[in-house]
Amino acid sequence: MPVLSVVLPAYNEEAMLKKTADTLKQVLSGEQIDYELIFVDDGSKDATWKKIEETAQADVRVHGVHFSRNFGKEAAVFAGLASASGECVAVMDCDLQHPPETLVEMFRLWEQGYEVVEGVKQSRGKESALHRASAGMFYKLMSKATKIDMSRASDFKLMDRKAVDTLLEMPERNAFFRAMSSWIGFKSTTIEFDVQEREAGESKWSTKSLIKYAITNIVGYSSAPMQIVTGAGVVVFLLGVILGIQTLVRYFSGHAVEGFTTVILLILIIGSIIMISLGIIGYYISRIYEEVKGRPRYIISKKV
Residues that bind Mg ion (CB under 5 A): 93, 95, 97
Q: Would you say 44 or 188 has its CB closer to ligand UDP?
A: 44
Give residues in contact with ligand UDP (CB under 6 A): 9-11, 13, 42, 70, 72-73, 76, 93-95, 97, 203-205
Q: Would you say 12 or 146 has its CB closer to Mg ion?
A: 12
Smallest separation (angstroms) from ligand UDP to the CB of 276: 30
42 binds, among ligand UDP, Mg ion, none (CB under 5 to 8 A by kind): ligand UDP
Smallest separation (angstroms) from ligand UDP to the CB of 265: 44
Longest pairwise C-alpha distance within the chain? 92
Helices (H) and strands (E) in the chain, counts: 10, 8
Smallest separation (angstroms) from Mg ion to the CB of 98: 8
Q: Would you say 103 or 280 has its CB closer to ligand UDP?
A: 103
Residue 40: Cβ within 10 Å count: 31
Smallest separation (angstroms) from ligand UDP to the CB of 163: 21
Q: Would you say 14 or 95 has its CB closer to Mg ion?
A: 95
Is 41 within 8 Å of 9 (Cβ atoms)? no
Question: How many whole angstroms separate alpha carbon 118 and alpha carbon 274?
Answer: 42
> CA 202: distance to chain centroid?
19
b (16+ CB within 10 A) / e for 11-34: bbbbbbbeebbeebbebbeeeebe
Smallest separation (angstroms) from ligand UDP to the CB of 278: 31
Smallest separation (angstroms) from ligand UDP to the CB of 94: 3
Is 80 within 8 Å of 7 (Cβ atoms)? yes
Q: Would you say 28 or 76 has its CB closer to ligand UDP?
A: 76
Smallest separation (angstroms) from Mg ion to the CB of 153: 15
Q: Would you say 93 or 118 has its CB closer to ligand UDP?
A: 93
Helix locations, 147-200, DSSP H: 161-169, 177-183
Closest-CA residue to 79 (of 89, 68, 67, 96): 67
With a CB cutoff of 8 Å and minimum separation 6, the contacts of 47 are 14
Q: Would you say 13 or 115 has its CB closer to ligand UDP?
A: 13
204 — phi, psi (to 5°)?
-95, 0
